[in-house]
Amino acid sequence: MDEQLEKELQFGSEAQQLIESPVFRDVMKAVEKELNDLLLNIPTTQPDLCTDLIRRIQVFEAIKMKIRNVVNTGKLAQQSIEESEPYKPEFNRGY
């Protein structure tokens, strides 16, 4: 099996476990809520704070996207590994 595919599969599996973790989900929801609350309550008279908050939101979204990409890459690695394995027909052993 290809070493790079194994690494991608491992990372994908770990990323999947991460996003399924209740603690991680709660933390991500809390951060998202906090950012949204700040966005709704930030004074428009302070453009520097608005710009900073927009950057924070962009970074947060980029992190979520990167984690999803790692999960998807792991799924593709699993598919590639399965497709590269030689075909092994299963015979009925009940005869």
Total domain count for the chain?
1
Judge whether 91 lies within some domain: no
Give pLDDT, residue 1. Answer: 61
pLDDT at residue number 61? 97
Residues of the chain with pLDDT under 70: 1, 87-95
Query: For residues 5 and 81, is the Cβ–Cβ distance under 8 A?
Result: yes
- Classify residue 31: in a domain, yes or no: yes
- Please report the pLDDT score of residue 83 as a whole number: 87
Segments forming the whole domain that contains residue 34: 3-82
**87 inside domain:** no
DSSP assignments along the chain, one per residue: --HHHHHHHHHHHHHHHHHH-HHHHHHHHHHHHHHHHHHHHS-TT-HHHHHHHHHHHHHHHHHHHHHHHHHHHHHHHHHHHHHHSPP-----TT-
